[in-house]
Structure 1
Amino acid sequence: MTKIAAVLFDKDGTLLDFDRSWEPVNRRAALYAANGDQALANRLMQACGMDPESGRVVPDSLFAASSTGEIARAMIDHGAPFALADLTTALDRFFFEGAADAVPLTDLVTLFTRLKARGLKLGIASSDNEASIRLMAESKGILGLLDYIAGYDSGHGVKPGPGMIHGFAEATGVPAGQVLMVGDNTHDLHMARNAAAGLAVGVLSGTGTREHLEPIADHVIDGVDDLVTLLDELEAA
């Protein structure tokens, strides 16, 4: 059995309710990028993988899995009248402002405390900017339970590259082969594979579906609340 000594979490759709947290933020960001033109904003949302009517986001789309710079580039390619650097900065501001009000999928303090009690190192790796991740973690009371935080701008590269997991391993002294990566998109699971992580676990609480996740994941669970049970089962095996 693979020895697991650390767990690295994706953020949106894994720890946070994706739709409740980010649908209104994505709408405001798209309208800003469209310079107030609602018709263009709708096209920008569609380009980034969000249905303007329902608010649903497509698995592995830009809004679901990509960095702010990648989102900004796509919006510009589809008509947003901004320079890339300016739009990236503006979108990061929207995402930062939404971080404190993001809606958790579970009692994060209880979950992280239980995992810490097992002796596990814990981290978050997100395509969001690092400042937003830290603000979310602080507002939800888990910042002090984390050993590592990585965003797209933390210097480890972006998903699905292996850098965020390699950074986690270096920061904690845990080999990548003993890291369990958990996320709701194939970007997270491909990152685990690219980094030779110990386990890749998909969750169905975000934008990813079982059909998308099962071909890549070692395990697929309904949500992070099932992670402790999975770890118990792995140890028993």
Structure 2
Amino acid sequence: MVHLSLRGTPLPCGDGPLEAVLFDKDGTMSHSEPMLEALAQARVFHCLALAGQAEGDPERLSDLGALLRRAYGLSAEGIHPAGTMAVGSRDQNLVATGTALAQVGFGWPEALAMAEAVFARTDGLHGQGSEQRPAPTPGLRPLLEALRQAGVRCAVISNDHVEGIEAFLAAHDLAAYVQAIWSAEHQPRKPDPAAIHGLCEELGVAAQSCALVGDANSDLRMARAAGVPVVLGYRAGWRRPVALDGSFLQLDHWQELAVVQGPANRWE
């Protein structure tokens, strides 16, 4: 019977074997922070440029820059692990950009059109057309290989679009390890617990036979609400410390997690 072990302590998956592991992408499977930081900075730059053409008030532009950085979770310490760039979908970031523009005096139709123009200018930094490819987090591939050898299915559940998820997997030859994807284009999207059930249906497994690993409290609470028995917080994907709910088990390196075949006794 297959199960996971965290730092030598077995993590039994209910009364049966572990059948699937569901992974978040950004900040969990992929070290996305450098790309997301560059994308956020580019959006701020182009937004200020377009706003400056329409509204030359220096004070308003200064306010807009500060609003955008807060909205994106962008600071000198890096990307906020729970900010919109880290956990939000593209359309959620688009609305956040439009809202910042509206807060400095642009009408909503104009603000939204300007936000869409900014994203059109910067979309090449992310997704299928991007030349930047976030690296997998250290130690991920050996874990995926161990899961494959044990017959455990793997899936990605992310608020990135299918294009971005598939581009990351293809760039690092990880696609063969992943049997299903649940993206921002699927309905409902995470953190709705029904997203877990939709993904499990695609995998052909029950949520009660799965584990989930994510770097955001919203991911972990979603999995718990969906009935996933093994829910793990991953903390090593960002420069800033990830503040996770202490009621969940947590890890800082994939080497802390082992795939074990045999009874899930309390001590191994």
- TM-score using structure 2 length: 0.75
Task: Note if 1:186 corresponds to 2:217.
Answer: yes
**Would you say the 8 A contact 2:22–2:213 is kept in 1?**
yes
Give secondary structure in 2 for the equivalent of 1:164.
helix
1:17–1:232: structure 2 CA closer, same or farther, 3 Å change rule? farther
CA contact (8 A) 1:204 1:221 kept: yes
Deviation string 1:199-230 (CA, Å, 9 cap, x unpaired) is 21001113485642323x2x11113332226x
Matched residues in 2 for 1:117 and 1:130: separation?
26
Q: Is the aligned partner of 1:28 residue 2:50?
A: no
Question: Which string of whole-angstrom CA distances, capped at 9 and with x for unpartnered residues, describes residues 100-145 of structure 1?
Answer: 5212212543331111111111011111111100010001101122
Counterparts in 2 of 1:93 and 1:161: CA distance versus 1, 3 Å: farther
**Which of 140-149 and 89-98 deviates more?**
89-98
Count of aligned positions: 231
Q: Supply the AA of the counterpart residue of 1:27.
A: Q
Structure 1 residue corresponding to 2:80, chosen from 33, 39, 58: 58
- 1:124 paired with 2:156, answer yes
Point out the more displaced range, 138-147 or 80-89: 80-89
Verify the 8 A CA contact 1:108 1:140 in the aligned structure 2.
no
Among 229, 233, 249, the residue aligned to 1:198: 229
Query: What is the identity, as a one-letter code, of the residue corresponding to 1:86?
Result: E
Give the superposition deviation at 1:82: 3.2
Distance 1:225 1:195 in 2: 27
RMSD of aligned C-alpha atoms?
2.8
Residues 224 and 213 of structure 1: CA distance in aligned 2, closer, same or farther (over 3 Å) = farther
Gap regions ≥5 residues in structure 1 = none
Please give the alpha-carbon distance, in whole angstroms, between the structure 2 residues aligned to 1:127 and 1:68. 8
Q: Are the equivalent residues in 2 in contact too, given 1:109–1:140 (CA < 8 A)?
A: no
Q: Is the 8 A contact 1:58 1:64 kept in 2?
A: yes
Residue 249 (structure 2) pairs with residue 235 (structure 1): no
The equivalent of 2:207 in structure 1 is 176
* Identical columns (%): 24
Separation of aligned partners in 2, 1:232 and 1:85: 51
Whose strand fraction is larger, Structure 1's or Structure 2's? 2
- Which residue matches 1:221? 251
Computing the radius of gyration from Cα coordinates, the structure with the larger value is 2
Sort the Cα spacing of 1:163 and 1:234 in 2 relative to 1 into closer, same or farther, 3 A.
farther
> Structure 2 vs 1, CA of residues 211 and 115 (structure 1 numbering), >3 Å: closer, same or farther?
same
- The partner residue of 1:16 within 13, 30, 51 is 30
CA deviations over 1:48-84 (Å, ceiling 9, x no partner): 2121xx1522232212211111111111111173339
1:45-194 to 2 correspondences below 5 Å: 45-51=69-75, 54-79=76-101, 81-83=111-113, 86=116, 90=120, 93-96=124-127, 97-98=129-130, 101-153=133-185, 155-194=186-225
SS in 2 for 1:31: helix
Contact 1:183/1:203 (8 A) holds in 2: yes
**CA apart distance, 1:95:** 2.3
Q: Which amino acid aligns with 1:151?
A: S
What CA distance in whole angstroms lies between the structure 1 residues aligned with 2:118 and 2:189? 15
With CA pairs under 8 Å and 6+ residues apart, which has the higher RCO, 1 or 2? 2
Pair 1:234–1:41, CA change in 2 (3 A) = farther
Give the secondary-structure state (helix, strand or coil) at the position aligned to 2:181: strand
Indicate conservation of the 8 Å contact 1:99/1:135, yes or no. Answer: no
